[in-house]
Amino acid sequence: MDLGIRGKVAIVVASSRGLGRASAQALAAEGADLLLCARGETALRTTAADIRRTTGVRVVDVVADVGSPAGIADVVRAAEDEFGRVDILVTNAGGPPAGPFESHGPEAWETAVRTNLTSVVELVRACLPGMRARRWGRIVNITSIAVKQPVDNLILSNSVRAAVTGFARTLANEVAPHGITVNNVMPGYTRTARVEELAERTAALEGKTPEAAYEAWESQIPMGRLGEPAEFGAMVAFLCSAQASYTTGASVPVDGGWIRSLL
Ligand code: NAD
């Protein structure tokens, strides 16, 4: 299926690796030009070069921390300078640290809000006027299964992603008359570098092997395996497609069945 986004311009945030990279790759495979960003330069440059080589789309990469207003301004300015517009915005950032309530002071809460909530709000603020003017836009936020079923030991993530979901659901109604959709994709356990690091940390803490950590997660997933980043990226690309024009305000899981609720 041709997703009808050839020549559209997409900002994909936090995209040097993992779910952001997979989302960017899937959009590029459909012919969208890209603005990629991440904090670390080396991985970002490699990813941008790989996507350029394999898909032929235009890819601009900007080293930026979207946890800061300056980082957000750099990303949006680069997209405007290079492409003159933004049609698709995929928000993302590194996840907040794990740990129970007592382990996070006010600073950790402030950082989680700034990185995982304020970045979404401010990127939308910057990109929305152009989408409204052109009467076409797609906003997709990478959240987490934690929105539907909080994950133990992830109090920061569980709290902040719920706020993003409230923001997105409200915004979706406000911008729907302008041809703009706003959706969230909720990853379950997906095989990225972050999850590999988490498996190693869990193994060290609990005195077991990383394989045992994977087995414990897999036992909670009806499909019996972790997701692959490309399976996640495919859902993001579909929600950014021309065909997804009547889906808005939704949170779509890509979790192998991990969420047990009916809706
Ligand atoms: P990852 O660590 O593999 O990749 C994160 C990417 O974001 C990297 O490119 C990194 O450079 C970039 N980045 C991090 N913080 C940034 C910032 N402040 N500004 C700009 N770039 C930044 O992580 P991932 O597994 O791809 O996860 C992406 C998001 O999805 C995270 O918020 C994570 O908590 C969430 N999530 C992941 C899973 C999973 O199983 N992988 C499950 C649920 C939720």
Per-residue pLDDT reduced to its tens digit, 173-183: 999 999 999 99
Q: Which residue ranges of the chain lie beneath pLDDT 50? A: none
pLDDT at 31: 98
pTM of the model: 0.98
Question: Does the beta carbon of 183 sit less than 6 angstroms from any atom of ligand 1?
Answer: no
β partners of residue 181:
138
Sheet of 9-12: strand order equals: 59-63, 33-38, 9-12, 88-91, 137-142, 180-187, 251-254
pLDDT at 248: 98
Using one digit for the tens of pLDDT, what is the confidence trace for 28-61? 999 999 999 999 999 999 999 999 999 999 999 9
Distance between CA 202 and CA 224 in Å, rounded?
19
pLDDT at 60: 98
pLDDT at 202: 86
Question: What is the distance in A from the centroid of ligand 1 to the CA of 147?
Answer: 16
Question: Does the beta carbon of 67 sit less than 6 angstroms from any atom of ligand 1?
Answer: yes
Question: Does the beta carbon of 16 sit less than 6 angstroms from any atom of ligand 1?
Answer: yes
pLDDT at 201: 85
Question: Does the beta carbon of 181 sit less than 6 angstroms from any atom of ligand 1?
Answer: no
